Amino acid sequence: KNQVEQSPQSLIILEGKNCTLQCNYTVSPFSNLRWYKQDTGRGPVSLTIMTFSENTKSNGRYTATLDADTKQSSLHITASQLSDSASYICVVESGAGSYQLTFGKGTKLSVIP
Amino acid sequence: EADIYQTPRYLVIGTGKKITLECSQTMGHDKMYWYQQDPGMELHLIHYSYGVNSTEKGDLSSESTVSRIRTEHFPLTLESARPSHTSQYLCASSEYGGSQETQYFGPGTRLLVL
């Protein structure tokens, strides 16, 4: 069964600090891995998409890494801001031919002043 | 910000009522999706569409139905709402883009069935 596990479940950091969120997956065959940011009460917004051949991708202060061999990904947030408070969701797409996305439960990040 | 809209944003309704959740996008995307998300839990795909007159069930069993008569419109209907249908419903759209396809999500509809 395809699964996406994220850690930690929740995280509280001080404004200005860096943090790293983890994602482990057991999805096969692998097509791509996505990170989304979901503000409370809103729909998710795409941050990065990485295919098998990509090791890292950045979007402003967000940097995602992918190790397809160990099936792990991380999302690093640099110089956190209060507006970074949200849930960060890891999603893995299977390349099985038919549409299949497996969603993680997300990491709830709280940035405090 | 993506041009994808959902109405209503919040809905409180009694058991047994028929409801339709609206979703529309102005980006001309062929692919549209409906997800269900309980608080603190992952999104589950309940329906998707590859284009007009195409509808498919997702990996989460749902008593809802969808239709895709127009490219921009993908409504979801519950014929008889029950308390177990209480959840957040998220609509999304994307265009064909291979492995770099980006989904754009609407703001969601929070449904409470009493």
Q: Is B34 on the interface with A (CB under 8 A)?
A: no
Q: Which residue of A has its CA nearest to B110?
A: A41
d(CA A62, CA A107): 15
Question: What percentage of chain B exceeds 90 in pLDDT?
Answer: 74
**Confidence band (pLDDT; 50, 70, 90) for B42?**
confident
Tell me which DSSP letter residue B27 carries: S
- Which of helix, strand or coil describes residue A30? strand
Q: Which residue of B has its CA nearest to A107?
A: B40
Average pLDDT over chain A, rounded to an integer: 92
Contacts for B41 with CB less than 8 Å, ≥ 6 apart = A105
- Residue A41 region, left (φ>0) first, then alpha (ψ -120 to 50), else beta? left
Q: Which residue of A has its CA nearest to B32?
A: A99
Question: What percentage of chain A exceeds 90 in pLDDT?
Answer: 74
Judge: B100–A93 Cβ closer than 8 Å, yes or no.
no
Find the mean pLDDT for residues A57-79: 96
d(CA A89, CA A17): 20
Q: Is B59 on the interface with A (CB under 8 A)?
A: yes
**Confidence band (pLDDT; 50, 70, 90) for B22?**
very high
With 90 as the cut, is the pLDDT of residue A63 above it? yes
Residue A12 to chain B, least CA–CA distance (Å): 16
Q: Which residue of B has its CA nearest to A44?
A: B105
Residue B64 to chain A, least CA–CA distance (Å): 19
Q: Is A75 on the interface with B (CB under 8 A)?
A: no
Cβ burial A56-91 (10 Å sphere, 16+ → b, else e):
ebeeeebbbbbebeebebbbebeebeeebbbbbbbb
Q: Is B5 on the interface with A (CB under 8 A)?
A: no
